[in-house]
Amino acid sequence: MLKLFWALPFVLAIGYYSYLNYEQFVAMNYLSMIPVVVFLVLIYPLVSFLHVLAEDRIPLYKRIYRLWLTANFLNEQGFYYEKASGKQGGRSKKKFPKVYLKQGKYDLRLYLGTQGSKFQDRFSRIGSELETTYFMDFMNKIDEEKFVVYELAYSAFLNRIEAKDVVLNDNYELVLSKVVKWSMTENPHLLIVGGTGGGKTVLLREILVGLLKKCIVYIGDPKRADFVPMEDLDVLKGRVFFEKEDIAKMVGDFKQTMNNRYDYMRKIAKERSERELGRFDTYGLKPTILMIDEWNALMASLNRNAKVGGQMIDDLLEIILKGRQVGSYVILAMQKPTYDDLPTKLRDNMMHHISMGRLSDSGYQMTFGDENANKKFRFIERLNGKKVYGRGYSAIFGLPAQEFYAPNLTAGFSFFDIFETYSRIENPHEPNYQGDVDKEDDVETQDLIDLDEPIDLPIQTLSDSTDFKTIGELSKSIGKSFGQIKKLIDVIEKGGFKKFKRDNGKVVLTEEDCLLLEGLFDSFESFDGTWKEMVSIHFDRDADN
C-alpha cells in the first residue's frame, strides 16, 4: 500500500506524458515510446528504494509503516473475526480485535485485547513473532486487566555513546549507552561473553574509562597482551597480573581484601552504635573491582593444577556471594560460559550479562538463560550499508535481552592518554598493602578531602623506637582511621607547625604527640571551620602562652 503511494507520482507522470504524445503513439513512433518503456522498467526498483529510504529517514513514515505491519500481521496470522455478508454470494467482512499501538522514540508498545477474546491464549505467546515482524527486541510482556502488553525496543544504534563518555555516576551505575547501565549495587557482577574478534577486550577497556576514576581495579590478563602494558600506569601499578598462578593469587587476595573491608565496616558500625551494617560507601570506602579477561583460557591453563584452579573457583564464588555489601565486584570476560569453566552457581549470581559479536544458539542460551529461550538473536554485519562493530545484547539476568552497541571509538582516542590523567586510589585493606599494621581506609570527610598531596619530609632514623607509638596503634586507641590521622599529621607538618619523628620512613609518635592529635580530633567536633584553620589557631594559642 505504501509503495503505491510512491508509485502514484510516476504513474501520473507517465500518463501525462502519454497524453501529450498520444498522436505519436498512434502513429507507432517508437522513439517517443522509449521514455515510457524506461519508466515502466525502472518504476519498481525506484519505488522500492524510496520506500526503504523514507522508512529509514522519515520518522512519521516509519510510524505509518508500523501501523501497516501490525494490520498485516493480524491478517496473516488469522487474528480477526469474520462476519458473513447479508447478500447471497457476497464476500464476508473481517474485523480485528481491540489492538492499540503506542510508538515512542526508542520503543514500541503493542496492546492486544484479551477480555473475552478468543485469541487471548495465542496473544500471550507471540513475543518472538513480534520480534521478527517489527525487527525489534522483545523486552517485556505485561498482563493488564483488559490487555496483554508487549514492549519492544528499536533504534539501539541511536543510543550509542562515545568511549570518552563512559562514566560511573553517583548512583554507582556504569553508563554504557543512553539506555544500558550496569548498576553494580543493584545488579552486582558483570559477565561479558563473545567469540574471538567480537569486541570483548575493547569493551573491557572502555569500562575501565568509567571505573578507574572512582574505583580500585585489579586485572587478570592470561593472554599477556591487552592489559599488561597498563601495569606501567600509576593508577594500575602492581594491579595487573598475567601469570596463571599470580592471577589465582590475585583472586585469593581480593577475597581477603573483601573480608578485611567487612571487619573495618563492622568496627566503624560498632563505634557508631549502628544496629545494622550499612553499604560500603557510608563508611567512606571506594568500590573494588576484580576484572579477568579470557576466563576460558585461564581455566584451561590451570587444568594441570587442579588444586590451584579449584581454590580459585572457591575464592571467586565467595566474592560473588558476599561482595555486594562491601563494594567488591567481579567482571569476567570469556568466549563461552560453559559449566566446566564457569559453574552455574557462579554464572547465575553474576547479575548483568552482555554478549558481543556472534554466539552459537547454546552460547546465547547459557548467557541469557531460559527467559530468552524463544528470543530470536540476530547477527547484523552491516547497518545502512556500513560494517557494524561492537554490537551485541545486554540483559539483567532473568529478564529479556536487548540489543546493545558498545561505546564508539572515535579517531584519535587513546586509552592510555585517559588513564594517565587518573589519580591512584590506595587500598589499605589489601593483604600486601605497604603501610602501617592497622590498614585503615582513607575515609573522605569534609574536613580532609581538600588537603593537598602529602609533602616529602626528611627522614629521621631512630636507633630505638620502643617508646613510640605507630599511627596504627594510635588509631586503635582513639577510634580514628589511619587515613584521618595521617592526613592530620600532613596538615601540621605542611603548615610548618611541627615535625614528627620517623623510624625507617614511618611516622612514630611520642606520648605528647598522641595527646596532641587526640585533642585536635576532640576539638574539631565543635569547631566551625577547616582543619587548617583549627590547627593554625591551636599552635598560635600555644605560642602566645
Known binding-site positions for ATP: 194-201
495: how many CB neighbours lie within 10 A of its CB? 13
Task: DSSP letter for 390, please.
Answer: S
Using N-to-C axis directions, what is the helix angle for 59-76 and 2-20, rounded to 10°?
A: 110
- Cα gap 242→250, rounded to integer Å: 10
What whole-number distance in Å separates Cα of residue 105 and Cα of residue 425? 40
As a whole number of angstroms, the longest Cα–Cα distance in the chain is: 124
DSSP letters for 251-300: HHHHHHHHHHHHHHHHHHHHHTT-SS---GGGGTPPPEEEEES-HHHHHH
Q: What are the φ and ψ backbone dihedral angles of 491, each rounded to 5 degrees?
A: -60, -45
Helical H runs in 351-467? 361-368, 415-419
d(CA 144, CA 111): 9
Alpha-carbon dihedral sign for residues 491, 494, 495, 496: positive
Q: Dump the DSSP string for 477-514.
A: HHT--HHHHHHHHHHHHHTTS----EETTEEEE-HHHH
Ordered alpha helix ranges (H), 21-80: 22-26, 30-57, 59-76
d(CA 218, CA 415) in angstroms, rounded, equals 17
State residue 303 phi and psi, 5-degree precision. -60, -30
Q: Is 357 helix (H, G, I), strand (E, B) or coil?
A: coil
Burial of 228 (0-12, 13-18, 19+ CB in 10 A): middle
Binding site, by residue number, is 194-201
* Residues sharing a CB contact under 8 Å with residue 172, sequence separation 6 or more, in sequence order: 183, 184, 185, 281, 287
Give yes or no for a contact between 206 and 198, defined as CB atoms under 8 angstroms apart.
no
Give me the count of residues in the chain.
545
If you ran DSSP here, which 8-state letter would residue 242 be given?
Answer: -
Cα distance between residue 396 and residue 179, in whole Å: 13
